[in-house]
Structure 1
Amino acid sequence: MDILSSKENGVLTLEFNRPERKNAITAAMYQTMADAINEAEQDTAVRAILIVGKPEIFTAGNDLEDFMKTAPSTGAIEDRSVYKFMMALTGATKPVVAAVAGAAVGIGTTLLMHCDLVYAADTAKFSMPFSQLGLCPEFASSVLLTQIAGYPRAAEKLMLGEAFLAQEALEMGLVSRVLPAAELLAFAQGQAAKLVALPASSIRATKQLMKASRNALVSETITAENKLFSAMLTAPEAKEAFTAFFQKRKPDFSQFA
């Protein structure tokens, strides 16, 4: 199973389990996680959700081969499994905890902005290389990262797409705490257990109130980003980026205005 799903002591744990492909996410994996989160929303026995990867890597982001293979001819993403997963995550009323060790690439970093508590190992590395692929930010990352880190830092991370380490992610406010890699999972599990022990209605109400002011903006931004992303996905720059990736060469964007 590329996604391991388990329920124990009130916590639904979703684990990326495709280490041979650096936990690159396929459409089937997105659908599995979307279904699990939606089911957890209806399951009163589940009081918190925990998303984890492997000690050596969180996720390399989209499996690009699968991503392009499953792309609809229109370029629209609303029917794609990744969209269904992200909508399930953004709409979750129960608290979501994430534990990140190793690389969190692309959507691996984007999804963290929609979690409630994010803990990083001192080995964690984050990146959002959308511009490097001829694309734009996704799932409200353009506005959320700006709110979290401020415009100058968000612009640096989203425009250049370069990786940054756990300590900088902490300074930016992207993660809640940085821990030694050996302590990460146990700590995140302990924080999820604390949430389970608290009144579920209080946690839901607190989350609802904290996110209420940004919900409309997030929804509007996702719509705008999706429109641009879908159009850019079939544009010459993205085609060059993906072709270069599969040919294992550096892309050449100099021919495009």
Structure 2
Amino acid sequence: MSHIKTELSDGILSIRFARADKKNAITQAMYGDLARAVVAGQDDPGVRVIVFGAEGDSFSAGNDIGDFASIAMSGTRPTDMAVFDFLKSLAYLDKPAVAAVRGRAVGIGLTLLLHCDLVVVAEDALLSTPFVNLALAPEAASTLLLPMAVGHQRAFELFALGEPIDGRTAHAWGLANRCVASAEVDAEARRLAGLLARRAPGSLAGTKRLMRDAERLWALMQAEGEVFGAQMLSPEAREAFTAFFEKRAPNFG
């Protein structure tokens, strides 16, 4: 059973996280499905816009820690994981992408938004990037894109402290285009996607390519992956993962 659902209607490809019982935590199998869905959307001339959304009360809790830890302990390099297929698909996506965010958006749940062109966030959503809390490093070219969006100091605070910001703050900081009541998020994202779907597709794609350097983003994603991989095998990360599963604060000495 896939935990990624897709639906194409009126030129809008909806890609939804469908693992609500786990707060839409993402496994490597889900990353593979996400990558295939984005690539298919990029290649299909009938797709004008991609909308990322989620079932349940959270956008995504980020990586499934159990799934991720088991793969990490196997010695698999991050750049060989399915997540990197998904990241590459985002780097080279030149069709408009919209995100509809309710509840928690953790780790990749936030960094995915940096690859979306329009973001609708619930007022009470909680967004965070707790990579350092897990003794890891940021991904998805977020070390470039997040400071560009919110400034160095705010980006460093999000990365280094890992504390969540609410939807109103995310909107004020420039991470979202619209901030609405939770019940209105999907409808507003769909409305914006509909407006984009009626624009000239070649013009939109050309505009997006001019605004984003896909090669640079992909190169940075790979560089981040090397740092991420080194940290993943470090004593710090082992302590962080152990503390997570033991439900205690990590001790980094």
Task: Look up the SS of the partner of 1:249 in the other structure.
Answer: coil
The alignment's TM-score, normalised by the length of structure 2, stands at 0.95
- Per-residue CA deviation, residues 177-199 of structure 1 (Å, 9 max, x unaligned), is 10111111011011111111111
Give runs of ≥4 in structure 1 deviating > 3 Å: 71-75
The alignment's TM-score, normalised by the length of structure 1, stands at 0.94
Partner of 1:159: 160
Q: CA separation in 2, counterparts of 1:92 and 1:71?
A: 28
Partner of 1:44: 45
Which amino acid in structure 1 is aligned with residue 241 of structure 2? Answer: F
Q: Is the 8 A contact 1:133 1:242 kept in 2?
A: yes
Partner of 1:84: 85
- 1:177 equivalent in alignment to 2:173: no
- CA positional deviation for 1:220: 3.7
* Aligned-residue RMSD, C-alpha: 1.4
Q: Is the 8 A contact 1:75 1:234 kept in 2?
A: no
- 1:141 equivalent in alignment to 2:155: no
Q: Is the 8 A contact 1:27 1:66 kept in 2?
A: yes
Q: Can you give the 5+ residue segments of structure 1 that lack an aligned partner in the other structure? A: none
- CA positional deviation for 1:74: 4.1
Q: CA separation in 2, counterparts of 1:179 and 1:14?
A: 21
State the number of aligned residues: 252
- CA positional deviation for 1:227: 1.0
Q: CA separation in 2, counterparts of 1:42 and 1:220?
A: 22
Are residues 35 and 220 of structure 1, via their aligned partners in 2, closer, same or farther at CA, if it must alter by over 3 Å?
closer
For residues 216-255 of structure 1, the aligned pairs below 5 Å read 216-254=215-253
- CA positional deviation for 1:240: 0.4
- CA positional deviation for 1:205: 1.0
- CA positional deviation for 1:136: 1.2
Q: Can you give the 5+ residue segments of structure 2 that lack an aligned partner in the other structure? A: none
Which amino acid in structure 1 is aligned with residue 225 of structure 2? Answer: N
Q: CA separation in 2, counterparts of 1:177 and 1:195?
A: 15
Q: CA separation in 1, counterparts of 2:43 and 2:222?
A: 26
Q: Is the 8 A contact 2:72 2:233 kept in 1?
A: no
State the identity %.
Answer: 42
Task: Look up the SS of the partner of 2:6 in the other structure.
Answer: strand
Which amino acid in structure 1 is aligned with residue 18 of structure 2? Answer: N
Q: CA separation in 2, counterparts of 1:75 and 1:27?
A: 12
Q: CA separation in 1, counterparts of 2:215 and 2:30?
A: 28
- CA positional deviation for 1:219: 3.3
